[in-house]
Each structure stands twice: as structure tokens, then as C-alpha cells.
Amino acid sequence: MHETSLPPNDREMPLSEHLRELRDRLLVVLGVTISLMAIAFPFSGTLVDLMVKRVVPPTAILTAYEPLELFKVRIIVSFMVAVAIGFPLLVYEAFRFAAPGLYKHEKRFFIMILPLSIVLFALGAGLAYFVTMPLFFSLVFGYEGSLVTPELSIGQTFSIIMNFMLGFGVVFQVPLIVVMAIKMGLVKRKTLENSRLVAYGLLAGFAVFIAPDPTMLSQLMVGAVLILLFEASLLLAKLV
């Protein structure tokens, strides 16, 4: 029997009340995020040092080309730490805002899918940090030999690190998205299997978009991972 009525907890509310509730929940999240940033900032310099040393070759020299470049990097790191720690609160507030308009099976689906999405994002970011980025920097700076000593902007270097981690975190959502699309009937598995070349082209374009890099190395790495995840998605959809 299909549910055709409104969700049991849903009730008519004026638009102004919806906006007021959304504002209040956003203010809670913003307040907690700023507080966590203030707590994390004194440790941000150490975190930047650890992250950069893990991925940048020891022969490279880090340089600040702007007076506040390192300060900006520390602010970004503090924000990332705050978001990582406060993410459960953001999810909770979003769920509480949307919950009255959801059916029970939609709430169960949301609760089930969210942890998996977080795990996949963490796996992607971890792969980028521990495997892909050290390889990337080694390839980029491994050919200069003893002729020159590479100097890197701390801001640009950290931007590359963040782009890799964020890009791979988003990329690792592909299996979840593909399986959901198949299970919801938006696309058939056979159609995806028969359109592999088109899918590969779209994934390659997506890799260029989320991993901008003039050397093309990051796009190739992200594209290869995307294709592997796409194939894993088709296999997973066949099993579940």
C-alpha cells in the first residue's frame, strides 16, 4: 500500500516561520563553527606543517609570496577542522528542519545513507592524502635533479592539497549515486553497461572540473579513480 497522505508530522506553516526556523538552525551551526575555529587556530600551524611535510618532497622549499599567505592557510585549516568536528551538528540540524516533511521510510533511508556517504568521503580524502598527493608531487618535482631547487608557494601548495582531498572525497560518492539512481529506476544498469564510453567521457570531464591542474596529472589520477569506481558501482548494483 502506497503512502499518499502527507507525512504524519507535517503541518502547514507560514513561509516566514520556515525561514525563521532555518535562520535559527543556521545561526546555531555558524556559532559552533566559529567557536571550533577559534579553538583550532592555535594548533593550525602545526597541522599545516604536518600536512605539507607528508606530501611535499624534502628538496622543495616552501615560500610565502604574500604577507598574509600563511595566515590565510591557517584560517582555512581551522575552518576545515571546525567543519569536520561540527559536521554531525550540521546534519542533525538539517535533518530536524526537514524531518516533519519526510515519511518514515524516507527518514530511514536518510539515516542509512548518511554514514555510508561520510565513510566514502573519508576514504577518498584519505587515499588522496596518503597515496595520490605524495605521488603527484614526486612526479612533478622529481625531474629537476640537481640543476634547480623548486620553491613552492605555501598558499598554492595547500590549495592543491585541499583540491585533491575534496575532489577525491566527492569522487568516492560515485558508487552511492550510481546505485541510488539504478535502485530508484532513474537509469537501468544495462543502459550504463552499454554506454561505457559515453560514461567514461563524462567522468573524464568531471575530473577536469573538480581537479584543475595545468600538468594534467591530477585529472588523469582522478579520472582513473572515477572509472574504477564506476565499474565498482555497476558490480555493486548487480549484487544488491
Domain ranges of the chain: 15-172
**pLDDT tens, 26-71?**
899 899 999 999 999 999 889 888 888 888 877 777 787 878 888 9
CA distances 132 to 142, 200, 203, Å, are 15, 20, 18
Query: For residues 2 and 185, which has the higher predicted lDDT (pLDDT)?
Result: 185
Other Cβ atoms less than 10 A from the Cβ of 125: the count is: 21
Closest CA to 140 of 118, 116, 111, 164: 164
Say which range, 4-18, 114-128, 136-150, 180-194, has the weakest mean pLDDT.
Answer: 4-18
The pLDDT mean for the chain works out to 78
- Which residues, in sequence order, are bridge partners of residue 63? 153
**What per-residue confidence (pLDDT) applies to 38?**
94
pLDDT at 63: 81
Q: How many CB atoms lie within 10 A of CB 164?
A: 25
State the pLDDT at residue 14. 67
Contact 52, 158 (CB under 8 A): yes
